[in-house]
Amino acid sequence: MRLFYTVLVLFFASLVVSAQTRAGQYIDVVYLQKGNPIEGTILSYEYEVQIVIVKEDGVIKELPWKEVKRVNFQFARNLFPENRRQEAAENVIEEEEKVLPTPARKFRHQVTSALTFGNTTSSDFGRPGTALGGGFAYHLLRDISFITIGAGLDVSLMNHQRRENVLAATVIVEVPIGKGRFRPFARIETGPTFLFGGDALGAEITSRSITPLYHPAVGVEITPRNGGWGRMTVDLGYRFLTSRFELTTDNLDIVERNVNYRRLTLRGGMRF
The domain made up of 2-97 has a fold known as SH3 type barrels. (2.30.30)
Q: pLDDT at position 239, please? A: 93
Residue 226 CA neighbour count, 13 Å, CB half: 11
* Whether residue 66 has pLDDT greater than 90: no
Provide CB contacts within 8 A for 257, sequence distance 6+. Answer: 122, 123, 124, 243, 244, 245, 246, 247
Q: pLDDT at position 126, please? A: 46
Q: pLDDT at position 35, please? A: 84
How far, in Å, CA of 269 to CA of 137, rounded? 9
How many CB atoms are located within 10 Å of the residue 56 CB? 10
- Structure confidence by residue, pLDDT tens digits, 233-253: 999 999 998 877 776 766 777
Contact 87, 46 (CB under 8 A): no
Q: Where are the beta strands (DSSP E) in 47-104?
A: 50-54, 60-64, 68-72
Task: Say whether pTM exceeds 0.85.
Answer: no
Q: pLDDT at position 162, please? A: 66
How far, in Å, CA of 239 to CA of 241, rounded? 7
Q: What stretch(es) of the chain map to CATH 2.40.160.20? A: 107-271
Provide CB contacts within 8 A for 76, sequence distance 6+. Answer: 23, 26, 41
Q: What are the backbone dihedrals phi and psi of residue 161, each rounded to the nearest 5 degrees, phi first?
A: -80, -40
Q: What stretch(es) of the chain map to CATH 2.30.30.100? A: 2-97
The domain made up of 107-271 has a fold known as Porin (2.40.160)
Contact 233, 221 (CB under 8 A): yes
- Structure confidence by residue, pLDDT tens digits, 125-136: 445 566 788 899
Q: pLDDT at position 218, please? A: 97
- Structure confidence by residue, pLDDT tens digits, 193-235: 988 765 555 566 667 788 899 999 999 999 887 666 689 999 9
